[in-house]
Structure 1
Amino acid sequence: MSLGNLYVALLFLLPSLYVLWTLYRLLQHVVRRYYLEDVLPILYTHSMVSVTVLPIAALGAIGVALTYNNALEFVQKNLVPLAREGGLLQRSEVLPLPVDVTLMEVQLVGLLILLAYGCTIVLHHLIDITRLLKISRRRLVQPETNAERALYEKAQEEMKKALAKKK
């Protein structure tokens, strides 16, 4: 097996593992008797993310290298001569990054992208949980019977009047 074939195999290993993980999650949902139409959008979303992560990671790694090299070139052309004239800088040997990125760099950027994707999913779940907690708190605060509701509304009106008098 040549080195190029090994790189191609490794390039598709991470998305393949992610797709297998989402299929495992799909089977868990089906076993728990969820409807299939609720699970398919989740499977579709996760599989599309796993397919697009590595090309975006490769472009991101190349973009970081190009940005670093352009910033380094700007500093060496404009700021280093000024620092040498002032006697602040004796030597400036900062090497540019090679633009040809390796598979490890692509996988590291892909890992960061997957981490960001996972954080957004967790954030959305936390927002949903917070909304549910607010709704359940409102249900606990509101009275159950009509008589209690009338007393509650009367107390609310008295509080509003008291606040209006203070202003």
Structure 2
Amino acid sequence: MAKMHVATTINGEPEEFLCEPHDSMLDLLRGALGLTGAKEGCGTGDCGACSIMLDGRLVCSCLMLAPEAEGRKIDTIEGMAQGETLHPLQQKFLEMAALQCGICTPGVLMASRALLERNPDPTETEVRFWLAGNLCRCTGYDKIVRAVLETAAEMRGAA
């Protein structure tokens, strides 16, 4: 099979790469592009560790074929901080120890960001529902949920 040329935007920067038609976006991100934040937890779209934003929509990069990135906008965990300034969610996760081993954390942060972009004032139930696609073996999710809720309040100026 011939390699495919793909032109896309990743974390606000134009990017071009060659890939096989069957390459997953996760493999391309981690391998050819060196963006190792997204993790392969399951390879079947069940754990959320590989979550990225595709044109503003949360997707599992292990289920996305790399050629599907053509002409699209992709955001990864590497693009969440602005230079040395952490995104408010990242800062709150650190402050509240809402992370442990780090395998699920990038996907949880991407899902949390996607939620807050759609709903800046979620309830606890909405946060738990939104994060249901992210599996974590290290925590009971309580610190994660609290961190998302506190970030939402701070971003609204309600804290």
Bigger Rg, which one: 1
Q: Which has a greater percent of helix? A: 1
* TM-score normalised by length of structure 1: 0.22
Q: Comparing both structures, which one devotes a greater share of its residues to strand? A: 2
